[in-house]
Amino acid sequence: MNHRFHWTGYLLLIFLFAFLLPQCKKEKQQNEIPIVAVSIAIDPNSIEYLHLNSVNGWEYLTGGYRGIIVFRASTNGFMAYDRACPYDWNLTSSRIVIDSSGITTVCPSCKSKFILTDGSPFSGPSPYPMKQYQTSFNGSILYIYN
C-alpha cells in the first residue's frame, strides 16, 4: 500500500509541475497594438514636410495609435511606423522617438531601439518590430494607410 501511495504522490507532483507551474511564470508577450484606421495623404516634397524632402529624412505625423513616424528610405521609397512601442504599447510613456543618429529610434520607457529602414529591434528588451503601415508614393503624393 505504501508503494501505491508513492506512485500517487509522483503523479500529483507531475500534475502540479505540468499544469500549475507554467501559469506562475508568464513571459512578457506582445499584445497587438490596437488597430486604428489610418488614411493619410501628404506631399513629402512640400515645405510643410521639409525633412522628408531628402533621403534619410523623417517626420512625425498625427495618426495611428500613438502617432506616426515617416522615414524616406530612398528617392521614391517611404516607411511609416506607429510610435507605440511594441514591447509596452499600453504605457503612455512608451512613445517611440527618433534618436540623435536620425536612422534609429528609441522607446524612452523600456529603452528598446529600432532601425528605421525596416522597423526591426536591435537593442533593449523588445523582440518585436515596430508596427508598420502601408505606403504608396506616386511621385507627388505619399499615401499612408492600413
Instruction: List pLDDT tens digits, range 38-77.
Output: 999 999 999 999 999 999 999 999 999 999 999 999 999 9
pTM for this predicted structure: 0.78
Residue 90 grid coordinates: 499600453
Domains of the chain, earliest start first: 39-145 (2.102.10.10)
| CA 51 to centroid of chain Cα atoms | 23
Across the range 105-120, mean pLDDT stands at: 94
* CA 126/CA 146 separation, integer angstroms: 23
- Spell out where 9-53 has E strands: 39-42
pLDDT at 6: 59
Q: What is the separation, in whole angstroms, between the first and last Cα of the chain?
A: 66
pLDDT at 8: 56
Q: Which residue has the cell 529624412?
A: 57
